[in-house]
Structure 1
Amino acid sequence: MKKTIVIVDDHLLIAKAIEGIISNFEDFEVIDVAENGKDMIDKFERDKKIPDIILLDISMPIMDGFETALWLKKNHPNIKVMALSMQGDDNSVIKMIKNGAKGYLLKNTHPKDLETALIKLSSDGFFYPDWASKVIFSNMADEKNNEKKKKISEREKEFLTYTVTELSYKEIAEKMCCSPRTVESYRDQLCEKFDLKTRVGLAVFAIKNGFAKS
């Protein structure tokens, strides 16, 4: 049995062109086209035709792709949403993924690659091309580091302000009114949290993240 698809795109010519391309795919068929998220919801309620996959544009009037993906995530979590857009910027990719999209393609994708993406989406539950995967993993790493930054104690922050100076660890300990062993503990904890190896690495981290005194 073919997997069913609904295309949600306010550009009718593009939507019909995509429908024509998919009509040549052995395992998939388009059962409807909607002009935006609101139109899609209305058709769901009227026709009771719930597809396996939604090909979803982002920039649309009335109810855009971000809102539509979030609505689908809450109301039809079993539908696999594939963003199909001209927007390939990091923010759009991350927001669509957070709103429930399981795949992301650009509209200049080759028809063969679209078919491959739909097959992977159906079998694996997700599909992201290499460029989108890099965006996602980079964002995950940034979020992980941001969570770690929230856990930096006030004393560790104070220690970081001194790493950009020429003070020795012993002199830093005197400034902080603690033992050199305690300062070494701050150093070791921060290096472990952020995978840093040297004082230079600590100093660069302090500057990049606003911990260094101006």
Structure 2
Amino acid sequence: MKTKVVIVDDHKLIAKAIGSIVNDFTDFEVMYEVENGVELIEKFKSPDKLPDIVLLDISMPVMDGFETAKWITKNHPDILVMALSMQDDEQSLFKMINNGAKGFMHKNIHPQELEIALKTLLREKIYFPGWATQKLYSSINNPAPSPTYEITPREEEFLKYVCQDLTYKEIGEKMNCSHRTIDGYRDSLFTKLGINSRVGLALFAVKHKYFNPDDFKI
């Protein structure tokens, strides 16, 4: 079975070019191409139109990549979103991550790199090229002002566990509380911090020193 890919890009020539490249890969095939998030949502009404990966342009009319990524994350969290952009600006990178994107790459990526990126995303559930990783590393390690949000002690504990390789159910077991309570902590932090994904929460926790790997060494 080939991995199903959908391309969302308002530039038809670019979408067709990317689609042609992806279809040349042995393990991937393009299901269809749409021009914006609204068209994608319409397609998603049919269960047989749901892909494994969405290659998502950021700058689009009607419904851009940021809002589309947020919608996919909320309604179809198992679908992997890879952001496509001609830019490498930090703001777009962080906003796409906060909205649920699991990867980010340039549109002018070499076909061989694109295949590696798709395989890595499918295997690891995350993919960022070197330049994006460097921006994330710099952001985490640069001194950050203390946040002004009121985060409760239990939410702080939740943030620490979010940075580990644990499911939400396992976090609930660690914190001795129900899955519904864990969902409450997560949703509360999403609202307070303006974040929409677990990756965004983890980045926030590390950057603002809520997580220290030494605290969890056995």
Normalising by structure 1, what TM-score?
0.67
Matched with 1:131 is: 131
Matched with 2:146 is: 147
Deviation (angstroms), 1:148: 7.0
Counterpart of 1:127 in structure 2: which amino acid?
Answer: Y
Deviation (angstroms), 1:146: 2.2
1:141-180 CA distance string (max 9 Å, x none): 34x7223799xxxxxxxxxxxxxxxxxxxxxxxxxxxxxx
Q: What aligned pairs does 1:1-214 form with structure 2 within 5 A after superposition?
A: 1-46=1-46, 48-142=48-142, 145-147=144-146
Q: Secondary structure at the match of 1:139?
A: helix
Cα distance in 2 for residues equivalent to 1:135 and 1:37: 27
Counterpart of 2:18 in structure 1: which amino acid?
Answer: I
1:56-107 CA distance string (max 9 Å, x none): 0000000000000011111111000001111211100110011111011001
Percent identity reads 53
Gaps in structure 1 of 5+ consecutive residues: 151-192, 195-214
Deviation (angstroms), 1:47: 6.4
Gaps in structure 2 of 5+ consecutive residues: 150-207, 210-218
1:11-63 CA distance string (max 9 Å, x none): 01100000100111011000011100001001111464100000000000000
Cα distance in 2 for residues equivalent to 1:11 and 1:46: 24
Counterpart of 2:35 in structure 1: which amino acid?
Answer: E
Cα distance in 2 for residues equivalent to 1:149 and 1:23: 48
Counterpart of 2:146 in structure 1: which amino acid?
Answer: E
Normalising by structure 2, what TM-score?
0.65
Q: Secondary structure at the match of 2:145?
A: helix
Contact persistence 1:58–1:87 (CA under 8 A) = no
Cα distance in 2 for residues equivalent to 1:16 and 1:98: 28
Matched with 2:176 is: none
Structure number with the bigger relative contact order (C-alpha 8 A, sep ≥ 6) is: 2
Cα distance in 2 for residues equivalent to 1:4 and 1:93: 24
Matched with 1:154 is: none
> Aligned residue pairs: how many?
152
Counterpart of 1:145 in structure 2: which amino acid?
Answer: A
Larger radius of gyration between Structure 1 and Structure 2? 1
Cα distance in 2 for residues equivalent to 1:56 and 1:41: 13
